[in-house]
Amino acid sequence: MSTFEIWFAFVAMTAITIVTRTFFLLAGERVALPQRLQRALRYAPAAALAVIVVPEVVLLDHQFAVHLGNHKLAAAVAATGWFIWRKNMIEMIAIGMAVYTLGRLFL
């Protein structure tokens, strides 16, 4: 690619990103999303988090690994159980990190 093509691609991608991310801000109240879409968008953060976290937890060396040797899975299960029981985010993080660290050190 030439220098011009690289800069053109950079500027074009920047412009497209700005337009798509500011569309709803620029439109303001003139554009109203349907109620059904608004309800569906409430689940977007949880879905995005699941897409990031679940493969990291259940895959080990690009293989599906649901066994005791998967320290990430054990930590995730322990942290989730602790959060369901205690409803404390800081304790959940501490428990998850402790289980993960102990699993890596001793198993």
Query: How is residue 34 annotated by DSSP?
Result: -
What's the rounded Cα separation, in Å, for the pair 11 and 24?
A: 21
| pTM (global) more than 0.85 | no
Please indicate, yes or no, whether residues 60 and 90 belong to a single structural domain of this protein.
yes
Look at residue 37 and tell me if it is in a domain. Answer: no
Please indicate, yes or no, whether residues 71 and 91 belong to a single structural domain of this protein.
yes
The conformational region for residue 62 under phi > 0 = left, psi -120 to 50 = alpha, else beta, is left
Query: How is residue 42 annotated by DSSP?
Result: T
Q: How many domains does the chain have?
A: 2
pLDDT digits (tens, 9 = 90+) for 80-99: 999 999 999 999 999 999 99
Of the pLDDT bands very low, low, confident and very high (cuts 50, 70, 90), residue 23 is: confident
Please indicate, yes or no, whether residues 100 and 49 belong to a single structural domain of this protein.
yes
Read off the tokens for 84.
């369901």
The domain of 25 spans: 1-32
Residue 107 pLDDT more than 90?
Answer: no
SS3 65: coil
